[in-house]
Amino acid sequence: MFHVYGTNYAENTLKQTMSNRFTSSAKGLFLVIAFFPALISSDEIQEFDIKSISAQIIESEEDGILKLTGNVIINSDIVELWSDEATYDKEKQLIKLKGNVQALSKSLSVEAESMTADFLNKQFYLSSSSFKFEERGFGEAQIVNIRAEGKIELLNVSITSCKNENTEWLLSAEEIVILEDRRNVVSKDIWVKLGRVPIFYFPYIRSAVGDEKFSGFLAPSLKQGKDGVDLSIPFFFSLAPNYDLTLVPRFIEERGTVIGAEGRYLTRNSLGQFSFSYLEKDRKFSKQTSQDTKRWATNFFNHSKFSSGLSYEIDTEHVSDIFYFEDLDDDILGSQQKDYLRKNFQLSWINKDISVKAK
């Protein structure tokens, strides 16, 4: 089949294809890590300005420190603070709150036993805190320490993205440290729990936040489906600026362990990706069919462009059996059912005024 297009259309389509195919998958360790940029930034602390202070009793001590007692409310342009008791040192820009402490910002609500806000030195310290993120979940931490250089430390943390306290899954860690640039994260003694049952443990993880390419664990997928517990924990290898690899072990309670992988590359004239998933023995499939057939799926995509205006593209998929996607609901690394498999080859030629494609 031949198609003829204007040059601009062909070039724009090519750019869109390349962009879609090479979007980085290194989005961060867990959902918990993405939440904490919602905390007050150093730039906001520099602009801190108290708008109003109210309490049942306000006393001014000899050193100029205000002592606040009963229904304390401190309003600023970046955060609203509530507590039973508080002291405010205007000269040092130091606020100490105690008893039923609440801190409210645009997207984050924090409750704590006590809180110290040092706006002059840009440090926050909270003890026995719980936090809620707007439409994103909630969690708890024994200690939250936001340091001047931007480093964030959390001790004895538990977090879930569930919207109520009847949590389907929970992530807990002895320590999570978000480093100064807020791009690298170090976590220690991490447990993943389904309900109250621990199902996975990591002694130590270092990973990245955002789109930076950095070797480490990516956000896991955990669900309860027709085959029981379904857990995937991807690990991203940043091998070079222009190629990488993601390994995806996947545990399916009633079927077995699937090993998946995806590799991506980008050269001067080519870009592409290849992926596969492999299940040595599907227990459920074996019972249904009395077959011990190995189950697998593969995909290969490549687009190459030559200086003469000639380019080609290949996009092909293969599976071990017609029931693979129906049973495993897995598109190599994603999660979607398929009605057909891609098997495409395209040859294109572009000059100044015309584009010709053969499929």
181-221 tens-digit pLDDT: 656 778 889 887 777 778 778 888 776 665 666 777 776 77
Take residue 283 and report the two structure tokens written for it.
């227990």
Cα–Cα distance for residue pair 179/195, rounded to 1 Å: 30
Confidence of residue 335 (pLDDT cuts 50, 70, 90): very low
Lowest mean pLDDT among 20-29, 113-122, 350-359: 20-29
Assign 13 to helix, strand or coil.
Answer: helix
At residue 135, the pLDDT reads 56
pLDDT at 22 over 50: no
At residue 11, the pLDDT reads 41
The amino acid sitting at 234 is: P
At residue 39, the pLDDT reads 47
70-87 tens-digit pLDDT: 999 998 877 789 999 999
At residue 154, the pLDDT reads 85
Cα separations (Å) of 94 from 49, 148, 276? 12, 14, 56
Contacts of residue 347, defined as CB under 8 A and 6 or more positions apart, other chains included, come to 310, 311, 312, 357, 358, 359
**When comparing pLDDT for 150 and 64, which is higher?**
64
Q: 31-60 burial, b if ≥16 CB within 10 A, otherwise e?
A: bbbbbbeebbeeebbeebeeeebebeeeee
Q: Are 80 and 74 in contact (CB under 8 A)?
A: yes
Q: Are 232 and 250 in contact (CB under 8 A)?
A: yes
- Arithmetic mean of pLDDT over the chain: 77
pLDDT at 265 over 90: yes
The amino acid sitting at 86 is: A
Domain 29-210 fold is lipopolysaccharide transport protein A fold (2.60.450)
Cα–Cα distance for residue pair 151/182, rounded to 1 Å: 7
Contacts of residue 74, defined as CB under 8 A and 6 or more positions apart, other chains included, come to 50, 52, 53, 80, 81, 82, 86, 88, 95
At residue 330, the pLDDT reads 57
At residue 234, the pLDDT reads 85
Which residue ranges make up each domain of the chain?
A: 1-27+218-359, 29-210
pLDDT at 292 over 50: yes
